[in-house]
Amino acid sequence: MASPYNLAGHVAIVTGSTSGIGQALAHALAAEGVNIVLNGFGDAAAIEKDRAALEAKAGVKVLFHGADMTKPDEIAAMVAFAKDQLGRLDILVNNAGVQFVSPIEDFPIAKWDQIIAINLTSAFHAIRAAVPIMKAQGRGRIINIASAHGLVASPFKSAYVAAKHGIVGLTKTVALEGAEAGITANAICPGYVKTPLVEAQIADQAKARNMTPEQVMRDVILDAQPTKKFVEFDQLAGLMLYLASDLGASANGAALAIDGGWTAE
């Protein structure tokens, strides 16, 4: 059956795609025939193995750029690399992100700066470099992976919640600026997804609260999520593909929750 998304031959950058959500989104795009620039940290040999495997499986071009999302020059170089190597840039998925949990009075200043840089400012730099390419093409799709924490807060996550609310505001602004040029910008706001980022929180909370990891998952993490289920990768990929395709042309400036009802409360 033909895909409803018609994305074959498009080019996408997915930041933070060596792990978790970004990796899953990159795989979903590649399966639709999209050529991909992967990005993120990790063991070089493992990254190259995954890159080559995805390229072979999906039959698309898959490149890797190791830009550090705290470094504006490296981010701009990654966007230029996509255009130079793959000829265009249709889809930018700003996904790289980190977390740190602490009461605000003890929150390390360096951690605040790092989270704002990776979870918010990196998207500004990537969008700033991508928009001229997308404007010249007359079409572009910017998809920012925010969070339920872009819509509501939780205690002890000051930097993360501030960055994610910030990215929702950035999304709206870019949506207005790009609208007539055929560029849309939207934020996907997931609830909890079981990735290394969340696995680390489960371990930390279990230690802090003297609970088992199973108790933390049920009574702490999924307490916020009315479905009591983690959000799955393919549920996020489905919304991303919709937004990236022509079906999503009128979705612009939205912050779309996929959180099992968390932010409905």
CB-count burial class (<10 Å; 0-12, 13-18, 19+) for 49: exposed
Which one of the spans 25-33, 36-44, 52-60, 129-137 is the region binding ligand NAD (CB under 6 A)?
Answer: 36-44
* Interface with ligand NAD in residues 169-208 (CB under 6 A): 190, 192-193, 195-198
Cβ proximity to ligand NAD: between 25 and 133 the closer is 25
**DSSP structural state of residue 127:** H
* Interface with ligand NAD in residues 207-246 (CB under 6 A): none
Binding mask 37-56 for ligand NAD (x = CB under 6 A): --xxxx--------------
Cβ contacts of 108 within 8 Å, gap of 6 or more = 100, 102
Distance CA 82, CA 12 (A): 8
Angle CA 88–89–94, to nearest 5: 160
Residue 36 binds ligand NAD (CB under 6 A): no
Q: How far is the CB of 180 from ligand NAD (least distance, A)?
A: 29
| CA 81 and chain centroid, separation | 19
- Told to judge if 5 belongs to the known catalytic residues of this protein, a careful annotator would answer no
Binding mask 147-166 for ligand NAD (x = CB under 6 A): x-------------------
Instruction: Find out whether 67 and 94 touch, Cβ atoms under 8 Å.
Output: no
- Helix (DSSP H) and strand (DSSP E) numbers for the chain: 9, 7
Strand ordering across the sheet containing 91-94: 62-65, 35-39, 11-14, 91-94, 140-145, 183-190, 255-258
Cβ proximity to ligand NAD: between 69 and 139 the closer is 69
* Interface with ligand NAD in residues 105-134 (CB under 6 A): 118-119
Q: How far is the CB of 203 from ligand NAD (least distance, A)?
A: 13
Which position among 14, 21, 60, 159 is part of the footprint of ligand NAD (CB under 6 A)?
21
Please give the C-alpha separations between residue 23 and each of 40, 244, 255, in angstroms, as whole numbers: 10, 17, 21
Q: Name the active-site residue from 5, 160, 192, 242.
A: 160
Q: How far is the CB of 83 from ligand NAD (least distance, A)?
A: 19
* Interface with ligand NAD in residues 54-83 (CB under 6 A): 68-70
Half-sphere exposure of 66 (CA within 13 A, CB side): 7
Q: How far is the CB of 55 from ligand NAD (least distance, A)?
A: 18
Which position among 18, 35, 171, 205 is part of the footprint of ligand NAD (CB under 6 A)?
18
Return the active site residues. Answer: 160
Binding site for ligand NAD (CB under 6 A): 16-22, 39-42, 68-70, 95-98, 118-119, 145, 147, 190, 192-193, 195-198
